[in-house]
Amino acid sequence: MRVTRLKNVRIVDGLQGSSRPTDLYILDKTLARKIPADLRIDADYDLENHVVMAGGIDIHTHIGGGKVNLARLLWPERSKKLDDQKPWLAPLSAPVPGTWETGRRYLQMGYTTCFEPAMLPANARQSHIEMRDTPWLDTGGYVVLGNDRMLLNMLASRASQQQVNDYVAWMVVSSAAMAIKVVNAGGIDAFKFNQRQLNVDETHPQLPVTPRDILWSLSTAAEELGLAHPLHVHCSNLGTPGNIDSTLATLDAVEGRRIHLTHAQYHCYGKSGPHGFSSEASKLADRVNRSNHISIDVGQVLFGQTITLSADTMHQFANRKLASPRKQIFQDLECQAGCGLLPFKYKESQYVHGLQWAIGLELFLRIQDPKRVFLTTDHPNGGPFTGYPHLIRLLMDYDFRMSIFDRLHRDVKATSSLPSLKREYRLDEIASITRLGPARALGLQQRGHLSPGSIADVVVYRNDDNAETMFANPVMVFRRGQLVLRNGEILDDCPKTVLVSEFETRSVAMQWGNHSSHREQWEKLYGYSPWLTALTDQEFADEGLDVEHALWQPAD
């Protein structure tokens, strides 16, 4: 057994107190606080004035799949490194870089686990293969349902919830998914029939189904199956002024079942104020604060050039004239969803962009439980994931936050309540929004914290008053006990794991695809059998990947 000791470190994981220095041991691939006296220490690091956290977990980042690859294709230009002295602060070479660069840059920030949030069932194999080619990260994906015609037809014909559950279980297992994601429930399919908006209680143009029906049915399926992560929801009316109403209606639609609201910043807008666009972050934060069954990730906007990409074709198409530069790609995909990609530049001087920036921060600062609000930029939509250290500094340093706020459009400064929010995040709260909270929301019991027995994905940061410098440049990163990065330099490759959801009926879920009536319906719709796109564990083994099953457990 290989033993590594991290001596005199300050352990910060959101669970235990973070006061005096202590020793942390890595025994092969897991963590311990004490070891038997006769055990020899193979590697010993004195880390006084350093902070140790678990490996970061990004709950929502677009890193693999058809639309991600299209974004790479759309943007062949490459940026130059801005700062050779601090390469870890250099911008990504492109808004959506190749897989190797993605893995390297995540590792260089101390992130070890990432989730692609929008895997089409038809495209799940590509998503997983791309993620397999993203080194140093353990990965998983959420399968996109809620615009798939199989489900819509089932709901229209008033199929039983048990039938829906069986279908959802098949989709989760055959896509090797961690969770179900719904994007603009029913709206993407409605757009294929030339409908340009679909509110929560509006009926689909062809079928007697509303988004509320879809949300209720899928959240029920997630809960009754016992999936590790609750229904992961991209609400209706993304980015539309006044969308707070449909966002709150979405939260109502699940009737108290667990729900995760993603890139919430884009879903809490009012339509008052000088430009008919205002913040309703306080309304959403208030709802989250009062409801233990809701978690969110923010989707913070960071200023600069990016590409927005989404399965929400309806709203991406509506925004197509905002593309900068003026080019855009849209797709209608395989009776399941679609995608839209627009290059986009967030500018400090632009009222809407400035307010979006402030709204994201408002959500972080107004939601009290840091284990239910998670740090994301919805990479690349709000900005690149390499902006996380900057975002952490915004949360930890009021003066720094205000120094940027002061540069925004005058109407943002006149109307935003951000200056009154004096809260500054503590280190343990940063650990919660980047590690512990996402791990809990995803049923990853052995990740996101540094308790004895947990997986030895460990990051060592040097204490620094400037949180951006601290979090951009970890001193060491261990993956499953193996030192893979030291002072920015990558030392070694490491084995990779695919994370999927465990649930009670998982072992029989694939039988759905053998049922003759299901096969007939599927083949009629798609023109091929359900097995053409279904993944097996063997495929992961062939690619040299381990599979880890995540299991939801109620919080203490």
Partner 1 sequence: MNQSHRRPEICSLCALVCELPDGSTESPRLDGFCSKQARLKPFVPIRLQSIQLQVSQDDAALTKVTQRIEQASAILVSGRIHSVESARSAIELANRFSATIDPWDSDGAFDAIASLQRVGGYSVSLGEARDHSDLWIVVGDDRLLEQTPRLPFAMHRGGSQRLLLLGTWSDASVRIWQAAGFEVLCLSVCVEGVPKYLSQATRLGQDHCQTELGKWILQAQYTTILYSPWALQVTYRDLWSDLLSRWVLTRNETARIATLCWGSLQSTFHQTCTWLTGFPGRIHFDNQQAFYDPNRFAAKDWCRRQDSGDQIARRSLLLWIDDSLDELPDELVEQNIPKLIIGPNQNKLACPSDLWLPTGIMGVTHSANIFRGDQTILAKIPVEGRGSPTHYLSPSDWVGRLLR
Contacts with partner 1 by CB under 8 A lie at 64, 66, 68-69, 72-74, 76, 78, 93-94, 96-101, 120, 122-123, 125-126, 129-130, 133, 149, 173, 192-194, 317, 320, 327-335, 341, 506-511, 513-514, 524-529, 531-539, 542
Tokens of 344: 């986009």
Q: Which has the closest alpha carbon to 278: 419, 412, 381?
A: 412
Give bridge partners of residue 310 from the DSSP assignment.
Answer: 340
Residue 494: is it exposed, middle or buried by C-beta count within 10 angstroms (0-12/13-18/19+)? buried
Residue 511 Cβ vs partner 1, minimum distance, rounded to whole Å: 6
Is 54:18 a contact under the CB 8 Å cutoff?
Answer: no
Residue 149 Cβ vs partner 1, minimum distance, rounded to whole Å: 7
Residue positions counted in the chain:
556
Is 248:282 a contact under the CB 8 Å cutoff?
Answer: no
Residue 498 Cβ vs partner 1, minimum distance, rounded to whole Å: 12
Residue 424: is it exposed, middle or buried by C-beta count within 10 angstroms (0-12/13-18/19+)? middle
Is 279:355 a contact under the CB 8 Å cutoff?
Answer: yes
Residue 505 Cβ vs partner 1, minimum distance, rounded to whole Å: 11
Radius of gyration of the chain (CA): 23
Is 260:337 a contact under the CB 8 Å cutoff?
Answer: no
Number of neighbours of residue 73 by Cβ within 10 angstroms: 11
Residue 475 Cβ vs partner 1, minimum distance, rounded to whole Å: 25
Residue 507 Cβ vs partner 1, minimum distance, rounded to whole Å: 6
Question: What span, in angstroms and rounded, lies between the C-alpha atoms of 376 and 399?
Answer: 22
Is 550:178 a contact under the CB 8 Å cutoff?
Answer: yes
Residue 326 Cβ vs partner 1, minimum distance, rounded to whole Å: 9
At 262, which amino acid appears?
Answer: T
Number of neighbours of residue 392 by Cβ within 10 angstroms: 22
Is 57:448 a contact under the CB 8 Å cutoff?
Answer: yes
At 463, which amino acid appears?
Answer: N
Q: Which residues of 545-555 are buried (b: 16+ CB within 10 A; e: fewer)?
A: beebebebeee
Residue 18 Cβ vs partner 1, minimum distance, rounded to whole Å: 39
Is 215:260 a contact under the CB 8 Å cutoff?
Answer: no
Tokens of 365: 């600062």
> In terms of CB distance, is 462 or 515 closer to partner 1?
515
Is 264:296 a contact under the CB 8 Å cutoff?
Answer: yes
Strands (E), 175-303: 179-183, 231-234, 259-261, 269-270, 278-279, 294-297
> In terms of CB distance, is 384 or 448 closer to partner 1?
384
Non-local (6+) Cβ contacts of 178 within 8 A are 115, 140, 141, 142, 228, 229, 442, 499, 500, 501, 550
Residue 64 Cβ vs partner 1, minimum distance, rounded to whole Å: 8
Residue 297 Cβ vs partner 1, minimum distance, rounded to whole Å: 24
> In terms of CB distance, is 125 or 258 closer to partner 1?
125
Residue 69 Cβ vs partner 1, minimum distance, rounded to whole Å: 5
